[in-house]
């Protein structure tokens, strides 16, 4: 079976204190975009991963199914690695869903969610349709009714190196970033309640974990909202029209690699 594994952007990311399990409280808006890896999963005697030998998370995902056989997997990568776009998480969720669909007794959605949550905080989102509000450690999901008629410009700055997730959160803790979490989380929920059209997404608060001066460049070139996705380093700019996003991509291409895409409702 073949399926797309789409990237995501965090249209907002509010981060709070560290939890007893070592993770952090978050409230985040997950939005799928139509920049996709392609995953093929078929039953086999043993599990092999082709096309992307660096993979570990897809192998772990398939191992969690405890099938009586292995899987032959091919990963065709298009989502940039370690970029804040959830490529690995999406690959894992897609492989998990495709493999589960081929079991004699497929696991129910609730059990798949549990397995996905063990793999990473972003993974369960990719098993759901549409934008979602992630809470708790990010795996508690609530569907959102958000406009989907806008264009997205992704910008991966030249020479940008993603810090590890642990490093990003350690820096957040050192600067006392958790202060005022409850108020900031409430402000996000309040802003979401007022979103009716794409431009209303500009009212969402900025990313707590990462920022970039290039967000101002995206806004100056016509984006109605711009920010860093997840822990970075990729930025996104939201535009009313694809033509506007293309003009901005041409103007900003010297800053790094760009992609023009649109929201995607499902994988």
Q: Write the pLDDT tens digit of every residue in 90-131.
A: 999 999 999 999 999 999 999 999 999 999 999 999 999 999
pLDDT at site 168: 84
| Residue 266 pLDDT grade (very low, low, confident, very high; cuts 50, 70, 90) | confident
SS3 235: strand
User: Alpha-carbon torsion 129, 130, 135, 138, what sign?
Assistant: positive
Q: Which domain covers residue 31, as residue numbers? A: 2-143
Give me the number of domains the chain comprises.
2
Whether 80 and 176 share a structural domain? no
Task: List b or e across 79-91, with b for residues whose CB sees 16 or more CB atoms inside 10 angstroms.
Answer: bbebbbbbbbbbb
Q: Are 23 and 77 in contact (CB under 8 A)?
A: no
Torsion of CA 86, 90, 92, 96, to 10 degrees: 160
**Backbone φ/ψ region at 235: left (φ over 0), alpha (ψ -120 to 50), beta:** beta
Within a 13 Å sphere around the CA of 73, how many CA atoms are in the beta-carbon half? 32
Q: Determine which one of 37, 55, 122, 208 is catalytic.
A: 122
Question: 176-229 pLDDT, tens per residue?
Answer: 888 999 999 999 999 999 999 999 999 999 999 999 999 999 999 999 999 999
Confidence class of residue 170 from pLDDT cuts 50, 70 and 90?
confident
Active site residue 149: no
In a domain, 83, yes or no: yes
The domain boundary residue, chosen from 82, 110, 143: 143
Residues near 72 by beta carbon (within 8 Å), at least 6 away in sequence: 40, 41, 42, 43, 44, 47, 48, 50
Indicate the residue among 112, 143, 174 that finishes a domain.
Answer: 143
**pTM score > 0.85 for this model?**
yes
**137 and 167 housed in the same domain:** no
Reference 229, options 167, 176, 157, 181; nearest CA is 157
Q: Is the peptide bond before 233 cis (omega within 30 degrees of 0)?
A: yes
Inside any domain, residue 93? yes
158 and 133 belong to one structural domain: no
**Residue the block writes with tokens 């952090």:** 24
Q: What percent of the chain has pLDDT over 70?
A: 100
Tell me, yes or no, if 122 is annotated catalytic.
yes
CATH number, position 228: 3.30.70.890
Q: How far apart are CA 210 and CA 93, in angstroms?
A: 25
28 and 137 assigned to the same domain: yes
| Cβ(25)–Cβ(56) below 8 Å | no
């Amino acid at each position: 079976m073949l399926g797309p594994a789409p990237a995501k952007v965090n249209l907002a990311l509010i981060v709070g204190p560290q939890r007893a399990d070592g993770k952090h409280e978050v409230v985040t808006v997950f939005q799928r975009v139509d920049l996709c890896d392609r995953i093929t999963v078929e039953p086999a005697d043993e599990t092999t991963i082709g096309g992307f030998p660096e993979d570990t998370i897809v192998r772990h995902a398939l191992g969690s199914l405890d099938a009586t056989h292995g899987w032959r997997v091919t990963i065709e990568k298009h989502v940039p690695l370690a970029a804040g776009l959830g490529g690995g998480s999406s690959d894992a969720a897609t492989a998990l869903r495709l493999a589960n669909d081929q079991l004699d007794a497929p696991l129910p959605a609730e059990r798949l969610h549990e397995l996905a949550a063990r793999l990473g905080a972003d993974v369960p989102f990719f098993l759901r349709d549409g934008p979602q509000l992630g809470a708790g450690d990010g795996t508690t999901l609530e569907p959102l009714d958000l406009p989907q008629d806008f264009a997205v410009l992704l910008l991966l700055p030249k020479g940008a190196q993603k810090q590890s997730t642990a490093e990003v959160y350690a820096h957040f803790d050192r600067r006392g970033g958790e202060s005022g979490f409850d108020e900031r989380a409430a402000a996000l929920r309040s802003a979401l309640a007022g979103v009716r059209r794409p431009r209303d997404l500009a009212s969402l608060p900025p990313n707590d974990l990462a920022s970039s001066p290039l967000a101002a460049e995206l806004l100056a070139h016509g984006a109605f909202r711009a920010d860093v996705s997840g822990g970075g380093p990729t930025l996104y700019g939201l535009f009313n029209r694809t033509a506007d996003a293309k003009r901005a991509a041409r103007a900003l291409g010297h800053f790094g690699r760009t992609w023009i895409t649109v929201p995607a409702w499902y994988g």
